Amino acid sequence: MKKTRRTFIKSALALGVLPLSLVAEEKTQSKKEEKDRTLRFIHITDSHMDLQDEESVDAMKNMVAFVNKEYTNLDFVLFGGDNFNNNVKGNKDALVFKDIISKLHCPSLVIRGNKEANPKPNDSIHLDEFKSLFLDSKLVTIEGKDWLIEKKGYTILGLDSCIEGKDNGAYTKETIAFAKKAIKKGNPTIMMNHHPYTNYWNEKDEKKIHKYVLNNSDEVQKELFSYKNLILTLSGHKHIDSVTKIQNVETVVTRGFVRPLDLDQYPMRYVEILDNKINHKLIYTKEV
Domain boundaries, the chain: 37-284
Burial class (CB in 10 A: 0-12, 13-18, 19+), 172: middle
Q: What is the mean pLDDT of the chain?
A: 92
Order across the sheet with 189-192: list the strands: 141-143, 146-151, 154-158, 189-192, 230-235, 249-253, 242-246
Is residue 182 classed as helix, strand or coil in its secondary structure?
helix
User: Rounded CA gap, 25 and 6, in Å?
Assistant: 11
Is the peptide bond preceding residue 121 cis, with omega within 30 degrees of 0?
Answer: yes
Higher pLDDT, 29 or 96: 96
Q: How far apart are CA 257 and CA 264, in angstroms?
A: 11
Q: Is the pLDDT of residue 71 over 60?
A: yes
- Banded model confidence at residue 36, pLDDT cuts 50, 70, 90: confident
The CATH class of 37-284 is: alpha beta
Confidence band for 1, pLDDT divided at 50, 70 and 90: very low
pLDDT at 220: 98
Work out the pLDDT band at 179, boundaries 50, 70, 90. Answer: very high
**Predicted TM-score (pTM) of this structure:** 0.89
Regarding predicted confidence, which is higher, 76 or 14?
Answer: 76
**The pLDDT of residue 270 is above 60:** yes
- According to DSSP, residue 81 is labeled S
At residue 20, the pLDDT reads 65
Which pLDDT score, from 0 to 100, does residue 137 have?
80
Q: Interhelix angle for 217-224 vs 173-183, to 10°?
A: 20
Say yes or no to pLDDT of 244 above 60: yes
Looking at residue 34, its pLDDT comes to 64
d(CA 43, CA 236): 10
- Residue 286 confidence (pLDDT): 94
Instruction: Give the Cα separation of 130 and 119 in Å (integer).
Output: 11
Write down the pLDDT at residue 13. 53
User: CA-CA distance, 194 to 82, in Å (whole number)?
Assistant: 8
CB 236 within 8 Å of CB 254: yes
Q: How far is CA 168 from CA 91, 111, 163, 171, in A?
A: 23, 15, 7, 11
The confidence score (pLDDT) of residue 99 equals 98
Q: Which amino acid is at 201?
A: W
Q: What is the band of 117 on the pLDDT scale with cuts at 50, 70, 90?
A: very high
